[in-house]
Structure 1
Amino acid sequence: MAASGMAARAVLVTRPEGQAQALCNALRQRGLRVYHQPLIDLQGLPELAPAARQCVLDLDLYQHVIFISGNAVRFALPWLEDYWPQWPVGVNWYAVGAGTARALAGFGIHAQLPGDEMNSEGLLRLAALRELGGQRALIVKGEGGRELLRDELQRRGARVDQLACYRRLPITLPAGAMAGRLAQWRPDVLLISSGEGLANLLGLLSAEESAKLWQTTFIVPSQRVAQQARAAGLEQVRVAANASDPAMLEALDVWRQETGEM
């Protein structure tokens, strides 16, 4: 809780709509003022393109099927279930993080996890993905994004296909609206889930408005996003172990301890 006589610290959560409730609840339980402003809008693709449909039909031909987010599970599994009432045998399933694995478990799929490094780099450290000569891999993802995983799996000898099942769009707000909300909420900390979200936030602000955030604390999910934040002029950047709720909460708790609130 906030120290006696001090106003509760304010935290801005920026996860997409429908994916922030658990994190917001955990923050409120810590006695914090919590605000939620999504920075990314997620939209499922309306239908399977012919190439994507072929990937789904060929599911039993892949040795490795990798889901790079919980959103990939959310949007792709209904498609897969339409074609596969029973999951094919002989497939190794992978999830980028614990939340993604839990989502897959809800469909009866047990997935391998990379550990604390919940990103493409962590997946690439898994022993099962080191030697892939002649094997096929399917990456289930959103449109666009990083190609590190695909490129490295191909370098290791795999034949790689990608199944895009949703798109990420920057939220749109009237000019000055984001700055107005920040001025009203006065967050002490912003929890940023991705580099794309950070870019969208800065895109909603003028240079003068962005400068007002230079001394605000940002908690980001990786060193890569931290570098992006510092390059934009943000000075108070802390790096969580990954983008999961527990990792973000742990980083926030460390910040609170170091700033004397706990």
Structure 2
Amino acid sequence: MSNALRGWRIWVSRAAHQARGLCALIEDAGGEPLCLPALEIRPVSLDWSLVGDSDWLIFVSRNAVEQAFEQCPGLDRRAARIAAIGRATRAALSQRNITVAEMPADGFDSESLLRLAAFRDIAGQRVSIVKGRGGRALLADTLRRRGARVASIEVYRRALPAYSAETLRRAFADRLDAMTATSGEVLDNMSRLLGERRALYDAPLIVVSQRVADRAARLGFTRVEVSREPGDAALLQALIEQRGRNSTGKA
């Protein structure tokens, strides 16, 4: 245990089932986590008998893995090869003893996957993308342009949690020294929850990609920093570094 974040109150905004790790790390570093999810993951029921076999099954997130195998435990047997975006996604598959054939080593987004050789020459192959409802269309659109036959399997949807006005008043009445946002959807919901509390937009905000950082700037957040990686350890390190800059007046 250290005191690197002592005195700091930090909003951890990711979905509740994924927030525990970062909240624990913040506590271990002497900080006070405000564990107030800005996102809920809700399952989308599918008729799995209509989901055909594929050459590739691509999982875009840990949520996609968890929701898909909750509904269809043998889904991996319907594809010749499995691909994952991000280490957390691969870890969720590995926990189920599923071999991942392809995963970007230098990134954790659709662009990184599309740079892999396996997905550059993919004409005629059947690709199923396991994902949440909505979201970016870049992966599917690009694979189609490259000649693949693409199907999207949407296994969950994102929702804004319902909080009473009193819950939000108590959450934001005290100071807020920093915030974290792990996706654009989380960020949009954070803005909705903050409402007219514009002063809180000036607290340091740690995000996981430049794309999310750009979105944060458009929403009016003024002190945005991108972590080196999307995992909890990298988010914690970015918070500690920001805390250090604040202490020395370099923020």
Structure-2-length-normalised TM-score:
0.89
Aligned to 2:46: 48
Amino acid in structure 1 at the alignment position of 2:43: G
Secondary structure of 1:187's counterpart equals: coil
State whether structure 2 residue 244 is matched by structure 1 residue 246: no
The answer for the alignment partner of 1:227 in structure 2 is: 214
Q: Which residue of 1 aligns with 2:150?
A: 160
Contact map agreement 1:190 1:218 (CA 8 A) in 2: yes
**2:115 aligned to which of 118, 125, 130:** 125
Do the aligned residues in 1 keep the contact of 2:59 with 2:65 (CA within 8 Å)?
yes
Q: CA deviation at 1:2?
A: 4.2
Question: Is 2:82–2:99's contact at 8 Å kept on the other side of the alignment?
Answer: yes
AA of the residue aligned to 2:176? P
Cα distance, 1:238–1:33 mapped onto 2, change above 3 Å: same
CA distance in structure 1 between the partners assigned to 2:162 and 2:68 by the alignment: 26
Q: Distance in 1 between matches of 2:144 and 2:19?
A: 35
Report Cα offsets for 1:230-260 as digits up to 9, x if no partner.
1122110001134321221232232233233
CA distance in 2, matches of 1:162, 1:43: 17
Q: 1:45-91: CA deviations, max 9, x gaps?
A: 2x323xx5322xx23xx12111111111111013332x56x835x72
Deviations 1:104-129 (CA, angstroms, capped at 9, x unpaired): 01222122321242111111122211
Unaligned regions of 5+ residues in structure 1, if any? Answer: none
Identity of aligned residues (%): 35
**What TM-score, normalized by structure 1, do the two folds share?**
0.86
Structure 1 CA distance, aligned partners of 2:26 and 2:112? 27
Quote the residue 2:35 is aligned against: 36
Count of aligned pairs between the two proteins: 246
Aligned AA for 1:43? R
Report the Cα distance in structure 1 between the residues aligned to 2:28 and 2:6, rounded to whole angstroms: 15
Residue number in structure 2 paired with 1:13: 12
Find the counterpart in structure 1 of residue 64 from structure 2.
72
2:244 is the alignment partner of 1:257? yes
Structure 2, unpaired ranges of 5+: none
Q: Which amino acid aligns with 1:9?
A: W
Matched AA of 1:215: D
- The alpha-carbon distance between structure 1 residues 214 and 17, as it changes in their structure 2 partners (threshold 3 A), is closer
CA distance in 1, matches of 2:163, 2:219: 21
- The question of 1:104 aligning with 2:93 is answered yes
Tell me the distance in 2 between the aligned counterparts of 1:259 and 1:128.
Answer: 45
Distance 1:53 1:169 in 2: 27
Deviations 1:115-167 (A, max 9, x none): 24211111112221111111111100111111111111111111100111111
Q: What is the distance in 2 between the residues matched to 1:247 and 1:95?
A: 20
* Number of the residue aligned with 2:168: 178
Q: CA deviation at 1:20?
A: 1.1
Look up the SS of the partner of 2:97 in the other structure.
coil
Match among 178, 185, 188 for residue 199 of structure 1: 188
Q: Please tell me whether the aligned partners of residues 209 and 227 of structure 2 are also in contact (alpha carbons under 8 angstroms).
A: yes
Provide the secondary structure at the position in 2 that maps to 1:204.
helix
Question: Counterparts of 2:124 and 2:85 in 1: how far apart (Å)?
Answer: 23
Aligned partner of 1:140 among 120, 124, 130: 130
Residue pair 1:116, 1:242 contacting (<8 A) in 2 also? no
What amino acid is the match of 2:192?
A: G
Aligned-residue Cα RMSD (Å) equals 2.1
Query: Does the C-alpha gap of structure 1 residues 178 and 117 become closer, same or farther in structure 2, counting only changes over 3 Å?
Result: farther
1:130/1:197 CA distance change after superposition, 3 Å: same
Partners of 2:131 and 2:154 within 8 A in 1? yes
Residue in 2 that maps onto 1:187: 176
